[in-house]
Structure 1
Amino acid sequence: MSKAVGIAVIRNLVKRRLRHLMRDRLDQLPAGSLVVVRALPGAGEADHDQLARDLDTALQRLLGGAPRCSGPPGDTPRSPGRGPGGSAR
């Protein structure tokens, strides 16, 4: 965990909270899944409930429950160097 999260005491608190929160959500993941949870700098200032909401949002995105971008429908990112329809230019 990055020192940007806070001093060692805060980093360990965040680590314990995230571990506890994730333990309660493991049944949402497919069997054999490997997940890395990364605490961002603001995690040190977040309370338990905020961490839980953020973790739930991240898991929903991971499992396909929420859209990843807010662009108009049909506006999907394309690979660089590809023209319309995915063909090479």
Structure 2
Amino acid sequence: MIHFLSTLDESHAPRVGFVVSRAVGNAVVRNRVKRRLRAILHTRLPELGIGDMIVVRALPAAADADSAELSRAVDRAFERLAG
């Protein structure tokens, strides 16, 4: 799940934050999910505008997803934001 806020504030580059609750798994699993999401969103930063802010909330199913599945989920979320 992605929450997006576009601002006219040009004082900062695009920002991305992550929320990975304990429902996703133990600390090892949560950190793995965050690392994968961080790598996926790093490649999509050029698509964001100056001042944009995104918060990615990982759902419990993210614990069992591999990087390709997470990438497809992020792509679908970005498509919904664009549409």
State the match for 1:74 in structure 2. Answer: none
The answer to whether residue 70 in structure 2 is matched with residue 51 in structure 1 is: yes
1:4 is paired with a residue of what secondary structure? coil
Structure number with higher relative contact order (C-alpha < 8 Å, ≥ 6 residues apart):
2
Between the aligned partners of 2:75 and 2:46, the Cα distance in structure 1 is 13
Q: 2:55 aligned to 29, 36, 39, which one?
A: 36
State the match for 1:22 in structure 2. Answer: 41
Q: How many residues align?
A: 64
Q: Which structure: larger Rg?
A: 1
State the match for 1:7 in structure 2. Answer: 26
Measured after TM superposition, the shift of residue 54 of structure 1 is 0.1
RMSD, matched Cα: 0.8
State the match for 2:82 in structure 1. Answer: 63
Between the aligned partners of 2:79 and 2:52, the Cα distance in structure 1 is 15
Unpaired runs of at least 5, structure 2? 1-19
Between the aligned partners of 1:61 and 1:6, the Cα distance in structure 2 is 27
Between the aligned partners of 1:62 and 1:5, the Cα distance in structure 2 is 24
Between the aligned partners of 1:10 and 1:63, the Cα distance in structure 2 is 30
| 1:3-44 C-alpha deviation (Å, 9 max, x unpaired) | 111111000000000011000001112221000011001000
